[in-house]
Structure 1
Amino acid sequence: MEQEKKPFIEMLPKVYGLYTGGFIAFIILMAILEQMGLGAETIGILFIAFTVVVYAGIGWLSRTMQVEAYYVAGRQVPALFNGMATAADWMSGASFVAMAGGIYFGGHGYLAFLVGWTGGYVLVASLMAPYLRKFGCYTVPDFIGTRYGGNLARLFGVIVLVVASFTYVTAQINATGTIASRALQIPFEVGVWFGLFGILLCSMLGGMRAVTWTQVAQYIVLIIAYLIPVIWMSNKQDFGLIPQLVYGDAVQRVTELEQMHQVGVLKPTESFAGLKALTVPFVAAGGGMEAWKFVTLAFCMMAGTASLPHILMRYFTTPSVKSARRSVAWSLFFIFLLYFTAPALATFTKLQILDPNLASGIIGKAIAEVNALDWIQKWSTVGFLAISDSNGDGILQINEFFMRGDIVVLATPEIAGLPYVISGLVAAGGMAAA
């Protein structure tokens, strides 16, 4: 079927409602199988395999040879679903796994990224999306060539697009390799090729039409995967079921623990490639960043967001200019759901590691005891975590615990002692974002 039919567009809420219900049922099934003795590695593989097969299936069913369907999804994507697809497109694997990690290590200063990205979508809504849709082009270089005339402008547009895309894809592929290497127990390099193969299956045959419907499915997976661990930890620690609104008390507790463990005072005396120790307090003065750096970083993020080629492409797919504006608003809402949660996730994860009153707390404990923990061993094996007894006292200090910021999200379920099905879910969410 080459052209999207009206009944299909009208059935989208029902189709994706059933898909969401099916995915939740799969999570419940995995939880039951875990209780029956199914191994952690098998659960991780099943989560990744199930979601990738679903995405590939959507890509296959959406295959097309029609130019308008391939490049702009037939210009029939409703604003709500275009917003979901844009959110999934924007929240890359790097963003999914690195945002909470950045806040964990960088404190409030890292919120400059959130400010900039939010401002960027305001620019897109007011200055970019309506006019891209109004011109009725297929690609951003095509729009530039039409707007400014001649093939020279179009050529420069292509060059900028290729350079920006390669830079962006580098972070994407790195995140894919990180997630796949841990979830599937395979080398990082093999994980990279696995991710590339999955992208090929999802997009090559159906172009923008396949990408759109796949990304809506991916957003559902990634937002469920991001919210469940945070809500679980918040409720487990008696902070309630809405962590985004109640984690202020957790921040206060983390601040006390950081002072007790001398965060920012004890500096690392050793270094490990790609890993770092916690050296910036969560509520450091100025957010651990000078004011001019915060402002310029936010501005750069704002300008960058408003010019990302794969995001701007999404606004060629709506039925009208009005729908393009609405889809930007929906995009911002769906992105907000995740980014509003990231500070809470970073806070609860830090609390799990620093608080000696919690079973998960490791700072201040004997290094031999910490090294015996399953999650420490597994993440150390793949090179994403390291412990060093710098002062030789056998007790783990804050400046002796090193890890990659990427694993804050991925390792949180294991750190908090949640069922492994949650770890598999988070890995599937990371792959969906990638």
Structure 2
Amino acid sequence: MGSSGTAPDGQGAKPDAPNPAPPEAKSAKENNGTQLVREIMSGNAMISVLAVVVALAIGGILIAFTDARVTAAMGYFFSDPGATFRAMWAAVSEAYGALWRGATYDPNSRTWQGRLGIFETLTFATPLILSGLAVTLAFRVGLFNIGAKGQIIIGATFAGVVGFMIELPPGIHLIAVVVAGAIGGALWGGIAGFLKAKTGAHEVIVTIMLNYIAVSLVLYLLKNPLRDPSSSNPISPAMHETAMFPLLLGPNYRLHAGLIVAVLAVIGVSWLLNRSTLGFEYRAIGANPRAARTAGMLVSRGYITVMLISGALAGLAGVTQLAGTEKTLDADIAGSIGFDAITVALLGRSKPWGTFFAALLFGAFKAGGTSMAINADVSIDIVAVVQSLIVLFIAAPPLIRSMFRIKAVRHEGVTA
């Protein structure tokens, strides 16, 4: 009789080998891995990083073609093309090298203040963090707060009145200054929120107009009741020492305790948006105001409260300017911080920690720009060009995706 195809139990039977995964399972795993990579590459954070890279590349081209060595080398480009490219590389590497060293650490500086540029970066970043958070928070509710400049000015004015006109014990004086600045910014931001909620007035128009009013108002005050009698310029008296933020690293560095306030604000806003009921309402209103209203949420109250908090954050930025670095109030106390805050919020993709790191980047641009101008003989305006290009590319994600051939990925996992 012929033997059967199966061996009897215990007679030389081999243990079953593990079955290889079916081809379909392997394909599914590979597809999932590819999908994950695509989601990471097409995510908001990656678009922001690539926007910065492209902006720096274009800035490098501008640096190269405006450098005298490159211009001279291009005169004999066809006889020695390598000289032109070497000159370009030297110009760009020197400029960005000086920018990096000025913003972080410069071993060639003769003073420790010049060597440790990272502390100057943190100093510049402090008001940008707070004002960027102000814009970020409004973004999450669907409001475009263009009025950070005015809120910074009014916050600084309130803080200044307490800081140089009132004498209080140490500790209490600084707390009073911080609270006053937050209240001033909140009141100025609350005007836009109230008008939006009650009349439907567009917050962009209202906040822009409030910026002009704030500048004119503080100029009037500095020429009349708040003017320093010992100065011929429209400037306030100096803040009392008890009203100033303590320096974190001693008198040789400008870095002050306002940075701690900024970090605490990032933590607070992150908790507010992601862990609190009010933050859930804000996100719901920002996603769909009609659906939020149908669900029983008070959309008008959300507009008012978010602009109050947003204005308070911008007011705190004004406090860090006045009680941290400037010591006296003038009409230019906000500088370009109010509008840089919009770029910081966009680059941070309207997320608190993203805003924090974007503010650090812009603080590095400000701290390193001076070093680049001095050590590499490159106009500091290049930094402004790079910042503007970042805004352009952040505002046009499809442009970045098309440059790097990145496909947008929907949440359902379907590529678009």
TM-score (norm 2): 0.28
Q: TM-score, normalised to structure 1's length?
A: 0.27
Which structure would you say has the larger RCO, counting Cα contacts within 8 Å and 6 or more residues apart?
1
